[in-house]
Amino acid sequence: MTAEPAVHAEGVVKRFGPTLALDGVSLTVRAGESHALVGRNGAGKSTLVGVVSGLHRPDAGTIAFGGAPAPAFGDRAAWQSKVACVYQKSMVVPDLTVAENLFLNRFEGRRIRWGRLRGRAADLLAEYGVRVDPDVRARDLSVEQRQFVEIARALSFGARLIVLDEPTAQLDARGIQRLFTKVRELQSQGVAFLFISHHLQEVYELCTAVTVYRDARHVLTAPVAELAKDDLVAAMTGESAAAPSWRAHARTAIGGEPVLRAEGLALDGEFEPLDLDVRPGEVLGVAGAAASGNTALGETLAGMRRATAGRVSVRGRTVRPGSVPHALAAGIGYIPEDRHRQGLVPGRSVAENATLTVTDQLGPWGTVLPSRTREFAMSMIASLDIRTQGPRQAVSGLSGGNQQKVVVARALAREPVVLVAVRPTAGVDVKSKDALLAVVRRVADEGRAAVIVSDELDDLRVCDRVLALFHGRVVAAYDSGWSDRELVAAMEGVGERP
């Protein structure tokens, strides 16, 4: 490691109107280090990334790279030579090839020499050990491959600091390990990484140091090996570690006729025929990695996909295959996997988003009365503790955890008898995660039922039973006493039960 840190921020202040987003924070990431930046949604992490990447001009404080002052604000080329960000949502252009993405806006002359461009791209990818065909279109790459291409592009500008913002959100366990292996390889070459994640187990696996922000302030920086997980959570939340609220609930007795039943349900190319029952008072978990078919199963139960075989019924009533309106009418509520792409209309208000499924109840003869919409939204805001300026605020202005609560509000608006939630806590902080899982648990405890589709172990702990899928087949079933090791082994196809 060199004497000077890859980046050093000191006393950084940033305001957006009356909102103090950063209050004199600091951050130091050394060359060859993976440094975690953690905190609850709204703690200031994204604002800090915007400042150190040159997107936001700080109101006070200093930024230095390798001991030299940061480039002038607005000089994008100079900033690109210092730092780059790889976001959860890929920034590659899907219809361009890998080579075109690598050298986008850097073509030499008016006439592009395609052979030379492909050759330069191949050399660049080989230099950083990225095994991707430069002629392949970006849309045909896996999430992991797109991340590697973005990292290679950033390094080609000369950047020695890479910000990884929730990079594992769409990766399965093997993809995460390959990403971490690549990060460690680049660390050995002196590249520094700022790792932002809500998955604290990944912080302990990858990073050597961690910085915590809370309420726009710097709380602590410490070596990861010297910080217990409970102490890290306490620093993030400002509260001593306690059992999640959903664990304290007494379980409702599970029995009676199934609320939700799937019989011989199958979807070609995704999952093989399977049966499942979910009874009143029960939360069923469907565990599996990215290629397991569990997400497709959740989407099929909710009417987002049309099954190629079998049937779904709610309280004995058959649900029309591939029909979201029919699923809603039958009493199925749905929390989608990707709130940005499937869950929210970003240009609309909190109230409009929360009431999308109940517009038929907001006025006579098909009209939507603003007063009734606001009244309905206010009740959901209070019930779910959505932190917002009010029902008229644009949903895009909320933190990730509060955006997810709006998605949950929409799913609960029709008081469904069964709630299907696909990765319901993706991209939210520890406290918001507990609150969201408590909502799912409450649905079941009220005598209804829920299905959680996820590969997150914390999501699955709230469940009464868990089915593990591997390559489209149910390979194991567990009651609530499962261990992390046996469930992960089943999801990875190495722990099948007969």
> CB count, 10 Å around CB of 369?
12
Please state, in angstroms and rounded to a whole number, the distance separating the CA atoms of residues 164 and 145.
Answer: 14
For the stretch 406-431, pLDDT in tens is 888 888 878 889 999 998 887 777 77
Which residue would you say has higher pLDDT here, 279 or 336? 279
> Could you give the CA distance from residue 229 to residue 306 in angstroms, rounded to a whole number?
43
The DSSP 8-state label assigned to residue 77 in this structure reads H
**Whole-model pTM over 0.75:** no
Structural contact between residues 83 and 102, judged by C-beta atoms closer than 8 angstroms? no
Q: What is the mean pLDDT of the chain?
A: 84
Question: CA 468, CA 497: separation in Å to the nearest integer?
Answer: 10
Give me the residues paired with residue 85 across strands: 163
Structure tokens at 127: 């230099």
Pick the CATH number of 7-92+141-237 from 3.30.390.10, 3.90.1150.10, 3.40.50.300, 2.40.50.140: 3.40.50.300
Is residue 333 within 8 A of residue 419, CB to CB? The reply is yes
Q: Which of 93-102, 296-305, 346-355, 368-377 has the highest mean pLDDT?
A: 296-305
Res 157: pLDDT? 79
pLDDT at 1: 45
Whether the pLDDT of residue 104 is over 80: the answer is: no
User: What DSSP assignment string belongs to 125-137?
Assistant: HHHTT----TTSB
Query: Is residue 121 within 8 Å of residue 104, measured between CB atoms?
Result: no
pLDDT digits (tens, 9 = 90+) for 312-330: 999 999 999 999 999 999 9
Judge contact between 447 and 281, C-beta under 8 A.
Answer: yes
pLDDT digits (tens, 9 = 90+) for 51-102: 999 999 999 999 999 999 999 998 988 998 999 888 766 677 888 888 888 8
pLDDT of amino acid 163: 92
Which of these, 456, 461, 466, 455, lies nearest to 440 by C-alpha position? 461
**In the CATH hierarchy, which top-level class contains the domain 245-347+415-491?**
alpha beta
Residue 496 pLDDT exceeds 50: no
The whole-number pLDDT of residue 106 equals: 66
Token representation of residue 27? 């951050």
Q: How far is CA 334 from CA 19, 75, 200, 302, in A?
A: 34, 45, 27, 6
pLDDT level of residue 365 (50, 70, 90 thresholds): low
The better pLDDT of the pair 154, 58 is held by 58
- Cβ atoms of 197 and 183 closer than 8 Å: no
What average pLDDT does range 455-460 have in this prediction? 86
What angle is formed at CA 221 by the lines to CA 2 and CA 21, rounded to 5 degrees? 110
- What percentage of the chain carries pLDDT values higher than 70? 87
Q: Where in the chain is the domain with CATH 3.40.50.300?
A: 7-92+141-237, 245-347+415-491
Question: Tokens 């997810």 label which residue?
Answer: 404
d(C-alpha 486, C-alpha 491), whole Å: 9
**Whole-angstrom distance, CA of residue 445 vs CA of residue 166:** 32
CA 372/CA 358 separation, integer angstroms: 11
